[in-house]
Structure 1
Amino acid sequence: MTELIKGSLILAGAIFMFLAALGVVRLPDLLTRMHATTKAATLGATLIMLAVALHFGQVAVVARAFGVILFIMMTAPVAAHVIGRAGYFVGSRLWSGTVKDELKPNYDPLTHRLKSHLETEANAARPPRDPEDAP
């Protein structure tokens, strides 16, 4: 029975890893590729590491497998975010079918700074300055 479970976990993990690779090849722009690889590859690696933990069944191996899973789950989304943000900042073109670009109104391409959501709300709530009040 455990052989069937291990085999299923490995097969499912390999399928998700294949889908991640397929996403890199087939998807149209950097941001959608990053989304596909992060989600699918993280799940694929997690399933394979669960199969490893089941196969060996020793406390040390299971602890290491869960450590690897935790490490991947913590670092993969952060790495994908940083790579996607860097790609956006250097001008990687978005897919022509992109409906909404939420960074565009908050990003200054000259200074490479993003306005935070709180800054945007504060500026919207602030009344306009009267030029006569300027020092």
Structure 2
Amino acid sequence: MTLEGVLDTIAAVCMITGALLSLAAGVALLRFPDLLSRMHAAAKPQVLGLLLVLIGCAIRIATVVDITTMVLIAFFQLATAPVAAHMVGRAAYRDGQTRTDLLITDELAPHLDKFGDRSAERNGRFTANPPAAE
């Protein structure tokens, strides 16, 4: 087997693994019960899946301009996806849209209660089982 054949095999494994991780993230977005679980599924395996696909493409294409573009895509994905997921989760928590019965540890509640920031729960907008979408 030549070096090109080995690189093609590595690239194919990276791309297939990345595609399967992205598929798993998409299925988890539909199947997980609450916002925090869905947020985790959207951020973690999707980013790793994209990075593996980019690595596979970089191995296969192997031109400087394309690899530079893929490195920039990977950098911005790694920089923005966790921050965006954190901000969505924090906003949903403050608005009372999370299912606190599914939380094992709630480290944010004492801090928000101290400042009276959980007004959504006190106003009755929080529901453990939100209504189904029509």
The equivalent residue for 1:59 is 64
Partner of residue 21 from structure 2, selected from 16, 22, 44 = 16
Q: Please report how far the alpha carbon of residue 5 of structure 1 lies from its aligned counterpart in structure 2 after TM superposition.
A: 1.0
Q: Which consecutive segments of 4 or more residues in structure 1 shift more than 3 A?
A: 108-113
Secondary structure in 1 matching 2:102: coil
Amino-acid identity (%) = 34
Which one has a bigger Cα radius of gyration?
A: 1
Q: State whether residues 13 and 43 of structure 1, in contact with CA within 8 Å, keep that contact through their aligned partners in structure 2.
A: yes
Aligned residues: 113
Task: State TM-score, norm by structure 2.
Answer: 0.76
The letter for the 1-side match of 2:104 is V
Q: Does the CA-based 8 Å contact 2:28-2:38 persist in structure 1?
A: yes
Moved more, 70-79 or 28-37: 28-37
Identify the residue that residue 105 of structure 1 maps to in structure 2.
110
Identify the range of structure 1 (69-78 vs 22-31) with the bigger mean alpha-carbon deviation.
22-31
After TM superposition, the score normalised by the length of structure 1 is: 0.76
Structure 2 counterpart of 1:82: 87
User: Which runs of 5 or more residues in structure 2 are unaligned?
Assistant: 1-5, 119-134
1:53 shift after superposition: 1.0
Question: Deviations along 1:28-71, whole A, 9 cap, x unmatched?
Answer: 21111111211100000001111111121111111111111111
Q: CA RMSD in A?
A: 1.9
Q: What displacement does 1:112 show?
A: 3.6
What stretches of structure 1 of length at least 5 have no aligned partner?
114-135
